[in-house]
Structure 1
Amino acid sequence: MRRRRLLALSCALTASLVTGCGLVPGETGQERSTVVVWLMKDSASEEFLDRFTEEFERTHSGLDLDIRIQEWTGIGEKVHAALESDAADAPDVIEVGNTQVPQYIEGGGLLDLTLESMRDWGMRDWLPGLAEPGQQLSAQYGIPWYAANRVVVYRKDLFERAGITAPPRTRDEWLEITGKLNSGGDQGIYLAGQDWYTLAGFIWDEGGDLAEESGGSWRGSLDTPAALRGMDFYRRLQALGSGPVDADEEHPPQAGVFAEGRVAQIVAVPGLARAIVQRNPGLEGKLGFFPVPGKSPDRPGAVFTGGSDLVVPKNTDVRDGAVAVVEALAGAEWNTELARTMNYVPNKTTLAAKVADEEGVAAMAAGAAQGRATPATPDWANVEADNPIKEYMTKVLTGADPAGEARRASRRITEALTAPAG
């Protein structure tokens, strides 16, 4: 076991040395514990972390926090090493990307937090896109912390010019409105042909998935009727703009395209609006946000939910302290404060009203209630490494048979998910 016990008053046991420590006879030492917390760069502001640390240490006597900021680059290997470490400075709480949690669960190095999360932490209200990747069978290892997801960023002035008074609330309305926006040199929507995260939402809306698990084995499922319906909607929407069919949303970066052209809509995280206005200050005050529309007006469309979970290594020697940190960071008070500070979506659907005064975050929160994550298999990274979904999308958008291409892409996904380790 790692040992990280600090004696606040522990110079020696002899009277002379006690005097040298500034103690008077009769004073006793108080044992303290330090909880080492790894958080990712830019997940929380320095000011937020300072306030959290001060309040946590004030309300948890005997516990000190040591928060260490980590870079995303190379974090996977670093976390795997930490989960196997007995070093005194190994982390007791770690922030990890929500889709990364299955990798760490598979290695057996995470503490099962099911009892705590069921009893006190309101797990029934957690965003599914954060909670589901942190589960294995009936056990909860990853505790949702914060989320961000795509919304529709739109030009209010171009909507007004086209006579559109309100954002669409259904997918059919979205197609109709986008068609109307294609006039007078304006582009109704810029949607790159390989934006597979956006496609995933349409597939989930139809009841399909990118891959499915049965009997402990995973297979690609782009060839199911539901997934094919999702791809067909993507095709119809993408055709209403001039986005490249053979590139994703970063090639070229869609923020630049939106800023420089007369584009009415893009699908992106709200934070991209800052980059757009920086490139074109004339758009200040002209940008709005609405959730990706769903199939019915009472329910936004499904979206890919990115964000972070908090995990506790099984080898921690300050279990109670680590659990207390997770409880505080994921609790309503500090979770709401983080969301307001960083423009995130809080970890529970019941906290959505707390960010309703910020248009972009409110749109994200509405979509996050229907959010999902990539398939909860530790091997999903193999799929993204040479992503067959992108090639499939381009093939369909250039006229190939959707069913045939979906079968080929599904086979490649299955191969990636069943490839032997190493």
Structure 2
Amino acid sequence: MKMRLLAVCTALAAATALTGCSRSAGSAEGAQKVTLWLMKGSASEDFIGKFTASFEREHPGVDLDVKIQEWTGIGEKVNAVLAGKSSESADVIEVGNTQVAQYIEAGGLSELTLEGLREWGNKDWLKGLSDPGSINGAQYGIPWYAANRVVIYNKDLFASAGIKTPPKNRQDWIQATQKLDKGDQQGIYLAGQNWYVLSGFIWDEGGDLAVETSGQWTGTLDDEKALAGMEFYKQLQALGDGPEDADEETPPQSEVFARGHVAQIIAPPGQAAAIEAANPALKGRLGFFPIPGKTSDKPGAVFTGGSDLIIPERTKQRARAVDVITALVSETWQTELACTMSYVPNKTTLAHVVDGNEGAASMAPGAAQGRATPKSARWAQVEAENPIKPYMTAVLTGQDPRQAAKAASDAITKVLNADR
């Protein structure tokens, strides 16, 4: 999931993303080499250069070696390092927040609970980053940065409909979208299988995708609260011409929006760059607002994408690895990363640092309410088979919601409890 979200939310930074940025020079004689793996596109070359120079200046005798990794095949590479079966080594590794559970289950991670409590301000962490990085109260993944979906809207179409301010609750959102849905103009383009968006609506209702009890998982799409989230999705999706049997990439929703006849889409704000590239006439005409919640006092829940930082248990540089994380999660470098890459910082108390960036600022309120997928090492298999998508299509095409939800829930239950 991390791969999919960042592919769009880092579009503005893609031009500066590294294709490879390990230090070409060998370690200085006698220096302690500390290796940091970062994922391609997560940080700009300028950020990495500045951070490396600063870290080495503040830690004399340390050679920080930053190696850029591709998302394809990264799970196998990380697992090999954790198991001590790789010719490569790493002391700190950036991983997708929803990937941490599988690494915890595989073993080989260093527990970082004490450091998190003492140095890294865990009480203010975004829950969508911190929760996937912990198990039974022990913290293994340390939040680094977040990105999430917002509503991207066409300012001209809103103005023509007499909508002066973005809606802040579901009722106002539906009413505004109904005004915008007229003639050949779509109030919103929402593909029928955008289950990331559905997840937020379910969480707003107090439901979930799956729950764990005494080590056993149960899919819960057929819970009354989850069904209420799907009902709202159906109501909103009907106010446009989004396909009922495809996701947001089929076709890419940014391309549809760029044609100028769609008032809103739900997407990471980085998609604005792709929209403007496809239709330069929309440059400066796009706005952003948090996905509205059930009431105006807080925004809707969202799926939180982003990264955590982990330390392999086998590292020979644990103290220095802790120093690297301490620096990366400090206010100075959180601010630098957020402003450079249009991310949300890892703490709610740092949300203000992106106030000058309309897109990133629109993510911050939702990020504070954000969540991640069920904390199971087998959730990746659920996504691969993805019974949620056909369930959504079934409901949108008039099939019985309860029966369709029960079938999807049973499929989720089966996958999550495999080999137990």
TM bucket (normalised to shorter chain) is over 0.9
Corresponding residue of 2:182: 183
- Which amino acid in 1 is paired with 2:141? G
Are the equivalent residues in 1 in contact too, given 2:187–2:264 (CA < 8 A)? yes
Corresponding residue of 2:46: 47
User: Distance between the aligned counterparts of 1:70 and 1:205, measured in 2?
Assistant: 35
| 1:86 Cα offset (Å) | 6.7
Pair 1:306 & 2:305 matched: yes
Identity among equivalent pairs (%)? 62
| 1:298 Cα offset (Å) | 1.2
Are the equivalent residues in 2 in contact too, given 1:34–1:63 (CA < 8 A)? yes
SS at match of 2:147: strand
Are the equivalent residues in 2 in contact too, given 1:86–1:315 (CA < 8 A)? no
Corresponding residue of 1:27: none
Pair 1:362 & 2:364 matched: no
Corresponding residue of 2:337: 338
User: Distance between the aligned counterparts of 2:44 and 2:58, measured in 1?
Assistant: 21
| 1:307 Cα offset (Å) | 0.6
Structure 2 portions without partners, runs of 5+: 1-25
Q: Give the stretch that moved more between structures: 61-70 or 268-277.
A: 61-70
SS at match of 1:309: strand
Deviations 1:265-317 (A, max 9, x none): 00000000000010001101110000000011110000001010000000001
What is the TM-score when the length of structure 2 is the normalising length? 0.92
User: Distance between the aligned counterparts of 2:410 and 2:39, measured in 1?
Assistant: 35
User: Distance between the aligned counterparts of 2:144 and 2:252, measured in 1?
Assistant: 28
- Which amino acid in 1 is paired with 2:63? D
| 1:183 Cα offset (Å) | 2.1
Structure 1 vs Structure 2 CA RMSD:
1.3
Are the equivalent residues in 2 in contact too, given 1:36–1:89 (CA < 8 A)? no
| 1:184 Cα offset (Å) | 4.1
What is the TM-score when the length of structure 1 is the normalising length? 0.92
Corresponding residue of 1:16: none
SS at match of 2:287: strand
- Which amino acid in 2 is paired with 1:268? A
User: Distance between the aligned counterparts of 2:266 and 2:133, measured in 1?
Assistant: 26
Are the equivalent residues in 2 in contact too, given 1:294–1:301 (CA < 8 A)? yes
| 1:219 Cα offset (Å) | 1.1
| 1:420 Cα offset (Å) | 2.6
User: Distance between the aligned counterparts of 2:40 and 2:292, measured in 1?
Assistant: 32
Are residues 225 and 350 of structure 1, via their aligned partners in 2, closer, same or farther at CA, if it must alter by over 3 Å?
Answer: same
Deviations 1:332-372 (A, max 9, x none): 11011001001111100100011011111001111100001
User: Distance between the aligned counterparts of 1:179 and 1:286, measured in 2?
Assistant: 21
Are the equivalent residues in 1 in contact too, given 2:77–2:86 (CA < 8 A)? no
- Which amino acid in 2 is paired with 1:104? Y
SS at match of 1:95: strand
User: Distance between the aligned counterparts of 2:115 and 2:185, measured in 1?
Assistant: 53
| 1:261 Cα offset (Å) | 4.1
Corresponding residue of 1:80: 79
Corresponding residue of 2:57: 58
Pair 1:106 & 2:105 matched: yes
Structure 2 matches for 1:333-412, cutoff 5 A?
333-412=332-411
User: Distance between the aligned counterparts of 1:190 and 1:364, measured in 2?
Assistant: 19
Corresponding residue of 1:135: 134
Corresponding residue of 2:12: none
SS at match of 1:36: strand
Corresponding residue of 1:281: 280
Structure 1 portions without partners, runs of 5+: 1-5, 10-30
- Extract structure 1 runs of 4+ deviating beyond 3 A: 6-9, 86-89
| 1:195 Cα offset (Å) | 0.2
SS at match of 1:37: strand
Deviations 1:114-166 (A, max 9, x none): 00000111101111110000000110000000111000000000000000000
| 1:62 Cα offset (Å) | 2.3
